[in-house]
């Protein structure tokens, strides 16, 4: 497939490979119902709604959504059993994608990691924001801005492997991974620069495959060819990064939200590392972000199905 360079191209691609099936945990959530209804209308996904069926139908009616267009699995036992039921629908192969509804994230993830019915794959669970930013010719993948607080080297290897798989699903055959730090030189007093240099060497020795890694790189010389040239950095990645691997959750969260609020951009987000893509959106996310997150999950599910 050709490389998807905008999130509009992503949505069109999701229409081509969809519809996929989404299992929604605790679907008594107006914003989530609106998102899955939009996905249905776009031909991207169909949804199974798990939760209190009466409340789901009442909420759907208040939103002028025909609940009869969805499969509804009645589970009135609360967040834990509803989440586990939604996860089981995915792990049993009856759905391709899991989506969080009106449920605490901790309870939702507990179901995802359930040893008997969960979606454990053996990989680290991580999060990625997917950004289309005006005036850039490609999509950026920022990871991990939400889950792993202060990842050590092993965790960063897993985070990279997760996001590489997603980039491949977007048609980026050899994603360029910039390992970000405050500076672009190795400094023994700055641990993120040491991790960056090790990840770079691991990639060169093919311990991490399917991408090109370089670092440490500061943000400016990771995305700007002019900045990289000015600093005298000779690298296939510098100025042309697809993936921005952040040193910790604080840097990642600030970077991702700066893009959302300070730049003209479109955004999606996914949880990676499970057996199936997971859509976990925030209440602050726009309806467009929720729709694009579902489309991202559809693209990844289609890629995993081929594999």
**pLDDT 10s digits, 1-57:** 899 999 999 999 999 999 999 999 999 999 999 999 999 999 999 999 999 999 999
Cα gap 125→206, rounded to integer Å: 23
CB 303 within 8 A of CB 44: no
Please give the pLDDT value at position 163.
98
- State the Cα–Cα distance between residues 138 and 288, nearest whole angstrom: 19
Whether residue 167 lies inside any domain: the answer is yes
**115: DSSP letter:** T
Same domain, 45 and 130: no
Give pLDDT tens digits for 130-170: 999 999 999 999 999 999 999 999 999 999 999 999 999 99
Residue 2 lies in a domain: no
Residue 1 falls within a domain, yes or no?
no
What pLDDT was estimated at residue 287?
83
75 shares a domain with 22: yes
Q: Cα separations (Å) of 14 from 11, 39, 217, 299?
A: 5, 10, 33, 6
Are 248 and 279 found together in one domain?
Answer: no
Which CATH number does the domain housing residue 13 bear?
3.40.50.10950
pTM above 0.75, yes or no: yes
Average pLDDT over residues 99-127: 94
Domain match, 213 and 250 both: yes
Residue with structure tokens 């040239």?
A: 229
pLDDT at 283 over 80: no
On the CB side of 225, how many CA atoms lie within 13 Å of its CA? Answer: 4
Looking at the structure, tell me whether residues 222 and 141 fall in a common domain.
yes
* 18 shares its domain with 98: yes
Q: What is the CATH number of the domain that holds 143?
A: 3.40.718.10
Q: Are both 143 and 236 inside the same structural domain?
A: yes
- 175 and 256, same structural domain? yes
Q: Are residues 154 and 243 in the same domain?
A: yes
How many C-beta neighbours within 10 Å does residue 272 have?
A: 26
Residue 121 pLDDT exceeds 80:
yes
Do the domain assignments include residue 278? yes
CA distance 105 to 99: 11
| Same domain, residue pair 200 and 108 | no
What is the rounded CA–CA span in Å between residue 4 and residue 53? Answer: 38
pLDDT more than 90, % of the chain:
94
Q: Is residue 261 part of a domain?
A: yes
Tell me: do 216 and 97 sit in the same domain: no
What's the confidence (pLDDT) of residue 285? 83
- Residue 97's pLDDT band (cuts 50, 70, 90): very high
Residue 175 belongs to some domain of the structure = yes
pLDDT averaged over the chain? Answer: 96
Number of domain units in the chain? 2
Residue at 45 is within a domain: yes
Q: Specify whether 20 is located in the same domain as 90.
A: yes
Largest CA distance in the chain: 64
Is 3 in a helix, a strand, or coil? coil
250 in any annotated domain: yes
Domain span at residue 227?
A: 126-265
Range 191-203 average pLDDT: 98
């Amino acid at each position: 497939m050709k490389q998807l360079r905008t999130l509009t191209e992503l949505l069109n691609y999701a229409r081509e490979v969809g519809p996929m099936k989404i299992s929604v945990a605790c679907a008594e959530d107006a914003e989530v119902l609106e998102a899955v209804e939009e996905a249905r209308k776009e031909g991207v996904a169909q949804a199974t709604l798990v939760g209190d069926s009466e409340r789901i139908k009442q909420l759907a009616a208040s939103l002028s959504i025909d609940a009869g267009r969805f499969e509804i699995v009645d589970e009135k036992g609360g967040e834990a059993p509803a989440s586990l039921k939604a996860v089981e629908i995915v792990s049993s192969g009856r759905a391709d994608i899991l989506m969080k509804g009106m449920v605490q994230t901790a309870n939702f993830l507990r179901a995802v990691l359930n040893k008997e019915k969960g979606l454990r794959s053996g990989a680290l669970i991580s999060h990625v924001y997917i950004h289309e930013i005006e005036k850039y010719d490609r999509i950026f993948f920022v990871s991990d801005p939400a889950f792993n607080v202060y990842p050590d080297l092993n965790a960063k290897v897993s985070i990279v492997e997760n996001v590489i798989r997603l980039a491949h699903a977007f048609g980026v055959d050899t994603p360029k991974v910039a390992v970000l730090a405050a500076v672009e030189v190795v400094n023994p007093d700055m641990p993120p620069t040491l991790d960056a240099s090790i990840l770079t060497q691991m990639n060169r020795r093919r311990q991490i495959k399917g991408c090109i890694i370089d670092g440490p790189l500061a943000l400016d010389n990771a995305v700007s060819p002019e900045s990289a040239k000015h600093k005298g950095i000779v690298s296939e990645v510098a100025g042309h990064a697809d993936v921005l691997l952040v040193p910790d959750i604080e840097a990642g969260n600030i970077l991702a939200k700066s893009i959302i609020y300070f730049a003209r951009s479109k955004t999606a987000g996914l949880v990676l590392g499970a057996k199936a893509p997971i859509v976990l959106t925030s209440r602050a996310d726009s309806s467009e972000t929720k729709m694009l997150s579902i489309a991202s999950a559809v693209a990844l599910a289609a890629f995993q199905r081929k594999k």
